[in-house]
Copies of this chain bind each other. A is one copy, B any other.
Amino acid sequence: MLAVALIVILTVKCSLTEGALASNSSIDRKDRNREMSLQRLQALRALMSSQRPVLAAYIIPTADAHNSEYIDAADARREWISAFTGSAGTAVVTSSQALVWTDGRYYTQFEREVDLSAWTLMKQTLPDTPTLEKWLASNLKDGDVVGVDPQTMTRDEWTPIQTALKKISAQLVPISNNLVDDVRIELGDPAPKRSHNELAPLHVRYTGRTAGEKIAELRRKMAEKKASALVLTALDDIAYTLNLRGSDIEYNPVFFSYLIVMETNVVLYWGDGQLPPSVTDHLREEGVDSVEGKPYGDILEGLKEMARELSESGDGRHVIWLSNDANEAIHRAASGSDVLKRPIDLISEVSPVKLAKLVKNEIELQGFRNCHIKDGIAVVRFFRWLHDQIDGGEQITEVQASDKLLEFRRDEKDFMGPSFGTIAGSGANGAIIHYSPDREGQQTVIERDHMFLLDSGGQYRDGTTDITRTRHMSGNPTAEQRDAFTRVLKGQIMIGSALFPKGVKGNVLDSFARHALWEVGLDYGHGTGHGVGHYLNVHEGPSGVSWRPYPDDPGLNVGQILSNEPGFYKVGEYGIRHEDLIEIVAVDKGSDHPKAKNLRGDYDGRGVLGFSTLTLVPNQRECIDAEIMTDFEISYVNAYHRRVLDTLSPILKERGLLKDLEWLEGQCIPITRK
């Protein structure tokens, strides 16, 4: 799945799979939207006027309280107020204006969905568009007050707006009631209830480390920083730490919660605070003895209370550690800034759990390798099926293909669900980078003369997969398509076969993936690689491979998982992307790596890193132009296909899937130059 997401969420939250396409009902929807939109805006403006002080502007980000990439319907406030369904965007409402800042993926969609007589689109990717804070600073006046729900903004987002407003003697104030939620109640359309689904313990045979061990390690780090408490707010951080999984957010096996780790106890804010025996038993078994449950909604009061207690404890100064992506309300509550004369000091930096889960342990890595075998079987079976259908004259739509793929994945052990919404783009749809086929409206059939781009993934108890393969359905691509397909593959190989010093940041690798494309004036508009969680979010920070450095990237290290997914998109015609997940491995002269034997140094002791490819599905031979590949690249592809075949064929045989085996064998015949 596309790496661009993780980059974009550095500034705005973004979900890749939400951008719904136009359907036949869009015109009706728009009329309805217009009426509702005005009514909603009027109600919000009335509420803004009734605040004391009166709000000159109210900001509505696309965000939940956990800085999640995917948000729950309960948090879709910007969508409700503006009718704009895109996954990224920030709305600002003043007494006379209403605006949404969003990026280039959504300009057309915005104009289709939104009442443009009430709302203004701020095209944030254009150089002349003022940033939100600049716009506020030039449209408000001395003494104006801007409100925002401080749970929907991280401190890093809050600070520049506050600074810009201060300069014009205006101010940004936290409004603890979310005004959009209040308007929804007032208009009889309350926000859906937040999910608090059941929790499922994940056994140490999958996680490799008990919750007790993980918490002990956190406490060691807290001791180094002299922190009295560590406040975890990112949902995947909490799921990882406790070896628990949930299902509150689609595709992400996480659950709404907060976790506070202290020297001798931990407090889990979840649901109504009643932890079921399955959870307390699991935690006890994993060596976490003292766990207190508190209601999810009490987190801010709980933090204030903790700040007050620490402050009054009389045993010297205390420090509380929280993640730099914790929201502004959490920052304020944890420091006790509203309740204490002298607030508690905060350490606000990248969460230690983010850094811990970035580097997978050996059990997690084995799980990743294993689930990629299962996922390879499913995807191979799917493609064999799809070619069979289309060759046999069947009309298969993108949605039907996605559903069939899910069926094949369901056959695999420990499969828990898709890791994101499948991107199945046939022909011109493949060139829409954030495409996802819509179940409603007209369906696109995968034609025999189409390039078909399929980006999908699975959640397994032993790991998470994310794979993109692009195939020409009749195996007869145009010369131009073959050239582009091959150049994208060359880029993927240049990453996959790269050696590099331990500790360099992911961004230094990005250009390798683009080199073969850049040589002929082609490129792609997304990053090259994102981190992947272990049966957790398919996009996981803080490392990644993009032209922009990831600010909290601690440097690449053995045991990290990245995607390797260059692409090329010809708008209106076709899209190509090749995506593997890759594991970072240490390489020396004796390693099983194609470049190992030539090693003459280890970068002066820093150590040599390389990649091992986890994904096990061949690339379509007919689309590869061996004439523009080096000898090394040809042998690299052939060795990879050999490995795919050697790994998958015994399983296919054992399961009696002989037609699939035969198909796979044909796919893995070595490529050669003419």
Q: Which residues of A come within 8 Å of B, CB atoms?
A: 167, 345, 480, 483, 498-501, 504-505, 507-512, 515, 518-523, 525, 547, 549, 595, 598-604, 606, 608, 630
On whether the beta carbons of A600 and B499 are closer than 8 Å, the reply is no
Within the assembled complex, what's the spacing in Å between the Cα atoms of A119 and B630?
A: 57
- CB-defined contacts of A601 to chain B, threshold 8 Å: 520-522
Cβ contact of A345, chosen from B167, B509, B600, cutoff 8 A: B167
Complex CA gap A603/B519 in Å reads: 10
Sample of 6 more A-B contacts, CB < 8 Å, known A498-B515, A508-B547: A483-B600, A501-B518, A501-B523, A521-B599, A521-B603, A522-B600
B604 A520 Cβ-Cβ under 8 A: no
Q: 9 A-B contacts, Cβ less than 8 Å apart?
A: A167-B345, A507-B508, A512-B515, A518-B603, A520-B600, A521-B602, A521-B603, A522-B601, A549-B549
A623–chain B nearest beta-carbon distance, Å? 17
Cα distance A509–B507 in the bound complex, in angstroms: 11
User: With a CB–CB cut-off of 8 A, which chain B residues contact A595?
Assistant: 519-520
Identity of the chain B residue whose Cβ is nearest the Cβ of A568 in the assembled complex: B601
Give A610 Cβ to nearest chain B Cβ, in Å.
Answer: 10
**Interchain CA distance A174-B515 in the complex, whole Å:** 50
Which B residues lie within 8 Å of A515 (CB)? 498, 512
CA distance A519 to B498 in the complex (A): 7
Known: A501-B523, A598-B520. A509 touches B508 (CB 8 A): no
Closest B residue by C-beta to A608: B521
A518 touches B547 (CB 8 A): no
From residue A604, how far is it (CB to closest CB) to chain B in Å? 7
In the assembled complex, the Cα of A518 lies from the Cα of B600 at a distance in Å of 10
List, in ascending order, chain B residues with CB within 8 A of A525's CB. 604
Q: Enumerate chain B residues within 8 angstroms of A600, measured Cβ to Cβ.
A: 480, 483, 520-522
> In the assembled complex, which residues on chain B have CB atoms less than 8 Å from the CB atom of A523?
501, 603-604, 606
Set B498, B519, B603: member contacting A499, Cβ < 8 A: B519
Complex Cα–Cα for A525 and B515 (A): 23
- With both beta carbons as reference points, the residue of chain B lying nearest to A512 in the complex is identified as B511
Does A504 contact B547, Cβ atoms closer than 8 Å? yes
B598 and A519: CB pair below 8 A? Answer: yes
Interface centre among A500, A511, A599 (most CB of B within 10 A): A511
